[in-house]
Structure 1
Amino acid sequence: MFPGATTDREAASYVVVGAPLDATTTFQPGTRFGPDRVRRFAETYDDYDDRTESRFSALGVHDAGDTRPWDDVEAYLDHLAAELRSVTLDGAVPLLVGGEHTVTYAGVEAVDPDVLVVCDAHLDLRDAYDGNPWSHACVTRRCLDDLGVDRAVIVGARTGSEAEWERAADTDVEVVAPEETRAWLDGLDADAFNTESVYCSVDVDGLDPGFAPGTGTMEPFGLAPREARDLVRAVAPRADGFDVVEVNDRDDGQAAAVAGKLLREFARTHAAADGG
C-alpha cells in the first residue's frame, strides 16, 4: 500500500493504481518493479506538509494495488484504461504509477483531457519504434493521434529522432527544453490551462540521471528535482489525472524516492486547490 493511502475505495478522492508494465523497454529493463519500489521509498515521508497544512492520510487516498500486465500490450492498455475510467466515473482522480511510459496511454484514455503535460527527456513522438506502435517511445504520439488530445506540452525534452523533431514543430506540440524550464514555469500565471482539462505525466528520465538514475533510458542534462516538483505544483490544480513512470530497480532508490514525492505533491496541491 502507498503510505498514507488509508481511505476506503468508495470514499476516495484519489486512487493509486500500479501498472508494472515492462514490455517495450529499449535499454535497461526493470519497470515491472516500479510501483512496489515507489511505495517502499515513500515510507519515510512525514504525513504532515507545512506548505499546504495538510496530512496526506486525510486527503482521501486509496491504493487499489497493481493491475498486472500480460504479453498483449494493446489489450492490457484497454483493460487498464477501463480500471482507471472506473475511478473517474466515481468522481476520483487516478494516480497511476508505472511501469513503462506506455501506460500513460491508458490514463489519458480514461481521463480524456484536452492537454497532456509531460515531463520527459524524450519526445516520444515516434509513430513506431522497431515496428511497434505501442512502444514507450511512441506514447505521446499515440495520445495526440489516436486519443484526440488537442495539444501536448513536453517539458525537459532534449532528444529525439529527426522525424520526431519534425512532428514536434506542429502546432499541437510545445517543447520546453531543460534550460528553458525555469523561465517557462515562472511565466505561468493562475489562468494557465484554465479553460482546458489536463493530464500530467512525469517520466522520471526527464530529471537529470544524477538525481534519478533508476530508469530505463538515461539522458544527461535534465531537470533538477525542484523543477519537476514545481511543474507538478503548477499543473496539479487543473489536472484530472496524474502518473509517474519509468522507475526501475537499478539504483539505490533515488528515482523511486522522487517519484513518490511527486505523487504526494500532486495530491496535496490538487486537494488544496479544490478546497480539500
Structure 2
Amino acid sequence: MFPGASADREAAAYAIVGAPLDATTTFQPGTRFGPDRIRRFAETYDDYDRRTDQFFTDLSVHDAGDVHAWPDVPEYLEFLEGTLRDVVWDDAVPLTLGGEHTITYAGVAAVEPEVLVVLDAHLDLRDEYAGNPWSHACVCRRVLEEGHADRLVVVGARTGSKAEWERADADDVTVVPPEATREWVTATNAGDTGLADVDSVYLSVDIDGADPGYAPGTGTMEPFGLSPREMRDAVRAVAPRSDGFDVVEVNDRDDGQAAALAGKLLREFVYAHAADSP
C-alpha cells in the first residue's frame, strides 16, 4: 500500500492504481517494478505538508493495488481503462503508478480531458516505434489520434525524431523546453497559458523528464533535463486543474532516486489538488 493511502474505496477522493506494464520499454526495461518501488521509497515521507497545512492521511486516498500486466498491450490498456473509469464514475481522481508510459493512454481514455499535460524528455509522438504503434514512444500520438484529448502540452521535452518535431508544430501541440519551464509555470499560475479556462486536464509525469543525474532509474535517460524542484512546481501548477494523474517509467536500475521522486510528486499532486478543492 502507498503510505498514508488508508481510505476505504467507497469513501475515497483519490484512488491509486498500479499498472506494472513493461512490454515495449526500450534500452533499459524494468518498469514492472515501478509501482512497488514508488510505494517503498515513499515510506519515509512525513504525513504533514506545511505549505498547504494538510495531512496526507486526511485526504481520503485509497490504494487499490495493481492491475497485473500481460503482453497484449491494447488488450491490457482496454482493461486498465475500465478499471480507471470505475474510479472516475465513483467521483474519485485516479492516480496511476507505472509501468511504461503507454499506460497513460488508458488513464486519458478514462478521464477524457480537454488537455493532456506531460512532463517528459521525449515527445512520444511517433506513429510507430520498431513497427509497434502501441510503443511507449507513441502514447501521445495515440491519445490525440483517438480523440481522447483535444490538446497536448509537453513540458521538458528535449528530444524527438524529425517527424515528431514536425507533428509537434501542429496547433494542437505545445512544447515547453526545459529552459522555459519556470516561465511556463509562472504563467500557468497566473492563468496565462490557456489552462485556466479548461474544464479538465490530465497530468502525466514521465520520470525521465528529470535530468538523469536526479532520477537515473528509468529506461531512456536524456541529459539536460528538469530539476526535481521544477517538476514539483509544474505539478503544483497543473494539479488544481486536473482530473487524473500518473507517474511512469520508474524502473529498478538505481538506488531509489527515481522512485523517491515519483512518490513525492504524487503526494505533491494530491496536496495541491485537495487544497484547491471545495
TM-score, length basis structure 2: 0.98
Deviation of 1:19 after TM superposition, in Å, equals 0.2
What CA RMSD, in Å, does the superposition of the two structures yield over aligned residues?
0.8
Q: Structure 1: any 5+ residue segments left out of the alignment?
A: none
3-state DSSP class of the match of 2:17? strand
For 2:173, the equivalent position in structure 1 comes to: 173
What is the aligned counterpart of 1:202 among 197, 200, 205? 205
Cα distance in 1 for partners of 2:93, 2:129 equals 31
Distance 1:183 1:109 in 2: 30
Partner Cα distance (1:15, 1:163) in 2: 37
C-alpha separation in 1, matches of 2:188 and 2:116: 16
User: How does 1:180-191 map onto structure 2 within 5 Å?
Assistant: 180-191=180-191
Q: What is the alpha-carbon distance in structure 2 between the residues aligned to residue 186 and residue 240 of structure 1?
A: 21
2:118 maps to what in 1? 118
Indicate whether 1:229 and 2:232 are aligned: yes
Alignment of 1:93-172 (within 5 A): 93-172=93-172
Separation of aligned partners in 2, 1:205 and 1:213: 8
For 2:9 and 2:197, locate their aligned partners in 1 and report how far apart those are by CA, in whole Å: 30
Relative to the length of structure 1, the TM-score reads 0.98
- Equivalent residue letter for 1:158: R
- Tell me by how many angstroms 1:185 deviates: 1.2
Structure 2 unaligned spans of 5+: none
Aligned mates of 1:205, 1:53 — CA distance in 2:
30
1:6 aligns with 6
What is the percentage of aligned positions where both structures have the same residue?
71
Counterpart in the other structure of 1:255: 258
Q: 2 CA distance for matches of 1:161 and 1:190?
A: 33
Counterpart-to-counterpart distance in 2, 1:147 and 1:259:
28
**Rounded Cα–Cα distance in structure 2 between residues aligned with 1:37 and 1:10:** 26
Q: Mean Cα displacement is larger for which, 255-264 or 177-186?
A: 177-186
After superposition, the C-alpha distances for 1:199-252 in whole angstroms (9 at most, x for unaligned) are: 000000000000000000000000000000001000000100000000000000
Counterparts of 2:26 and 2:147, CA distance in 1:
24
Structure 2 residue identity aligned to 1:267: V
The SS at the match of 1:26 is coil
The separation in 1 between residues aligned to 2:149 and 2:247, in whole angstroms, is 19
After superposition, residues 6-85 of structure 1 pair within 5 angstroms as: 6-85=6-85
* CA distance in structure 2 between the aligned counterparts of 1:19 and 1:114, rounded to whole angstroms: 23
| Corresponding letter in the other structure for 2:109 | E
